[in-house]
Amino acid sequence: MSEQKRLDGHVVAITGGATGIGLVTAKVLAGAGATISIGDLDAEASEKAAAGLGEGHLGLPLDVTDNESFKGFVERTETELGPLYGLINNAGVMFLGPLDEEAEAVTDTSIAVNLGGVINGTRIAMQKMRPRGRGKIVNIASQAGKAGLPEGATYCATKFGVVGLSESVRRELRGTGVEVTCVMPGPVQTELGAGIGAARGMAHLRPEDVAEAILETFFRNRAEVWIPSIAQALSVPAALMPVSGRDWMMRALKADSVLAGADHARRSEYEKKSVQGS
């Protein structure tokens, strides 16, 4: 880690930080000197994850869908660690299948966690950071937030929402010293991404790939970060095509089967435990 890529003295909170991308990001940022507050629905896992980072970090219970829970998480973070410099809205869920077969509880959970949770966190972070004239909000979306994929309609809708939210808030905060970045990974090797495919020529990302890209956003302000970056290059010509052309490109790259061709047997346990109230 170079001296230029240090976050010493900065407090960074990560939602959904006890597993997957969140946990790896916590380790990478802690390695860069940041003091980490991990928030997760599983309080015990959150405490264990924070302890694994070493002394001085914090693990707390957090339900991102509950605004009061989110406020309490941020308040306790600031009380115990100091002023919040960065918030990474990472918590998310993904359920797959045809929309007309999707249970209402699944729809409600997807919207509440993936979009409502990011709105809650972004609003609270703005309220803390804007008066201080500094801070970084990182919202984890997905490349599914730029292209509607079959059998992931609600998931895509929520990620489209995160992209739009991030763009709007970034413009609201222009000139305040508070930065907003939307991170859009392709499929990642995590429990959430288990059993899904990848577009032609694209390999599944490691959580470390995403974590390193998140770290970089603290030193290079960018509105959007695509991982891998080649995906952004492909999106440019696609945006100029008529709908029929975009559909052809999706089929040619087999992007239309990334979610539709998922192995549901591999995903069943994850999806069952991720529905709120289950």
β-pair partners for 181:
138
Q: Tokens for 53?
A: 């980072």
The verdict on whether omega for the bond into residue 228 sits within 30 degrees of 0, i.e. cis, is yes
Q: Say if CB 262 and CB 198 are below 8 A apart.
A: no
What the block records as the tokens of 197 is 């495919």
Task: State yes or no: is 270 an active-site residue.
Answer: no
Residue 228, phi then psi, degrees to nearest 5: -75, 160
Q: How far apart are CA 198 and CA 111, in angstroms?
A: 24
Q: Which helix (H) or strand (E) holds 110?
A: helix 104-110
Catalytic residue among 155, 160, 218, 226: 155
| Distance between CA atoms of residues 39 and 61, nearest Å | 6
Length of the chain: 278
First-last CA distance in the chain: 42
CB under 8 Å to 246, separation ≥6 — which residues?
Answer: 147, 238
- Reference 191, options 62, 65, 93; nearest CA is 93
Q: For residue 11, give the nearest of 82, 100, 93 by alpha carbon.
A: 82
> Cα dist. 44→22, 49, 65, 258, 269 in Å?
15, 9, 19, 33, 20
| Catalytic center residues | 155
